C-alpha cells in the first residue's frame, strides 16, 4: 500500500490558522491537541482540524503546503468553507478519552 501524506489546516476558537504537512494525520492532530507540539500551535492553542487532503506524493504534499501558506487568509478560508462550511472539528471522535477497557 502506498504511503499517504496529508496537507492539513487546524484552527482554534478565534480562528487562527495553522497549515501543516504530515505522513500520519491522526498522530499529528493528537500532538497538536495534547500540547506536546511546541511552538505556534501550543502558544495559540490550535486544537481543531478543519481541513485536510491526502496524496501519495510527498513532494506534492509539501508543495501544496507551501502554496496554501502563501495564500491570502480569505483564499484559505474559502478552501476550508468549500468542504467544511461549519468549521467542524474533523478529528472529533478520533480519540478515546479516559483509560482503555
Q: What is the DSSP letter of 86?
A: T
Nearest CA to 13 out of 46, 38, 43, 52 is that of 46
Average pLDDT, the chain: 92
Cβ-based neighbours of 14, under 8 Å, separated by 6 or more: none
Which of 3.90.320.10, 3.60.21.10, 3.40.1440.10, 3.40.50.360 would CATH assign to domain 5-83?
Answer: 3.40.1440.10
Helical segments of 45-97, H only:
58-70, 73-83
> Averaged in consecutive runs of 10 residues, what is the pLDDT profile of the chain (101 residues)?
92 96 95 86 93 97 98 98 97 69 40
User: Can you give the pLDDT at residue 97?
Assistant: 57
pLDDT at 59: 97
Amino acid at each position: 500500500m502506498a504511503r499517504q501524506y496529508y496537507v492539513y489546516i487546524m484552527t482554534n476558537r478565534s480562528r487562527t490558522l495553522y497549515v501543516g504537512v504530515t505522513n500520519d494525520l491522526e498522530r499529528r492532530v493528537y500532538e497538536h491537541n495534547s500540547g506536546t507540539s511546541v511552538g505556534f500551535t501550543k502558544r495559540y492553542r490550535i486544537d481543531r482540524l478543519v481541513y485536510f487532503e491526502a496524496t501519495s506524493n510527498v513532494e506534492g504534499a509539501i508543495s501544496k503546503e507551501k502554496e496554501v501558506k502563501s495564500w491570502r487568509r480569505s483564499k484559505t478560508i474559502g478552501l476550508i468553507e468549500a468542504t467544511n462550511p461549519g468549521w467542524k472539528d474533523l478529528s472529533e471522535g478520533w480519540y478515546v478519552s479516559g483509560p482503555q477497557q
